[in-house]
Amino acid sequence: MAVNLDKPQRWKSDIAASVDFYNDWFMRFAPKAYRDTRVATTEQVKKALEATRNLSDISPQILEKNPSVLSILRMATAPPIARDRLIGLAGVATNLVNNMETKSRIPPRMAIKQVRVELGKIGQVIMQLVDEDIFPWVNNNQKPSELEVHRAATVVADRLCGAVSDPIIRNAQEQRQLAAIKDWLEKRGYVFVDGKFDEFAAGTFSFRRNIPVKQASRTGTNQVNIPVDVVIQPLQSKPDEFPLLIEAKSAGDFTNTNKRRKEEATKVTQLRNTYGEKIRFVLFLCGYFDSGYLGYEAAEGIDWVWEHRIDDLADFGL
């Protein structure tokens, strides 16, 4: 039975209420999430400065030993430089920079001689572009005070957090959404468990489970896993009943939701192709989801629950 997808007369008021709900949360909690991340990032920057002797030593040996400092060093320049820009300016292998920044390592198959030559090029670019306003001691060959190091680390941390502010907010919002669902379920007698999604006992639930689905390929049909945020087996479920699958979605503007709306359609198509129409997949929405987005999902047969009206979960048999 449809809960919200077949009630377009409610969409306008729900959209307004959802936007208000998200904005209220953002104003009260998002700044704290950002500040907490900035504090942790500042400590990471300080460790990077310590490893490079406050930028007085960005030698190949130091970079080889501390590959993870590279993303921090890129934010220590004027202007801060993107990863691809550094690769171009230094004329080094993309594989080297990507491994250092995403895996905190030197590519294991890269010849050590080539590694050190390219690390030397990277160090030269960083030193040539180092931000003298933030690191005045570098060109003066002076030892910075503890306050100067802290101030510089804070500025670089701000730059790093600014570059990833959206993921910081999304992560905080997702944690809050899952906590809201958990609280709602546990108040009704549900128990959190781990396990395969099709082996859950009645009255149990779990987060971030992988669901195996069939995926067509050139060589035939392969099995792949797709992640689902919440898996819930209703209290009154029958032994052969599939659990309810929920995807938590939040958005701080209308533009990105319409770019991402096909993701859910693709996921539910894979689920139905594997398990049939009896599989149930719904969205848990908070924020900026307009009528265009809702209409698209409704056309795909995807229903939803608004976080500001979380009790609608009961209408899905919970």
Cβ within 8 Å of residue 75, ≥6 positions away:
156, 159, 160, 163
How far from chain centre, in Å, is Cα 196? Answer: 24
Question: How confident is the model over 227-282, as pLDDT tens digits?
Answer: 889 999 998 888 778 889 999 988 887 766 766 777 888 888 888 888 888 888 99
Cβ within 8 Å of residue 190, ≥6 positions away:
203, 204, 205, 232, 235, 318
* pLDDT for residue 192 is more than 80: yes
Q: Which residue has the tokens 């294991």?
A: 108
How high is the mean pLDDT of the chain?
87
Domains in the chain, please, with CATH? 8-32+166-316 (3.40.1350.10), 37-164 (no CATH)
Please state, in angstroms and rounded to a whole number, the distance separating the CA atoms of residues 292 and 28. 29
pTM across the whole model: 0.68
Question: How confident is the model over 48-104, as pLDDT tens digits?
Answer: 999 999 998 999 999 999 999 999 999 999 888 988 999 999 999 999 999 998 899
The mean pLDDT of 149-153, rounded to a whole number, is 88
Please state, in angstroms and rounded to a whole number, the distance separating the CA atoms of residues 211 and 197. 7
Please state, in angstroms and rounded to a whole number, the distance separating the CA atoms of residues 234 and 244. 8
Q: Which residue from 47, 85, 76, 86 is spatially nearest to 136, judged by alpha carbons?
A: 76
* pLDDT for residue 30 is more than 80: no
Map residue 231 onto helix, strand or coil.
strand
**Alpha-carbon distance values, 84 to 62, 95, 96, 274, 284 (Å):** 22, 11, 12, 40, 36
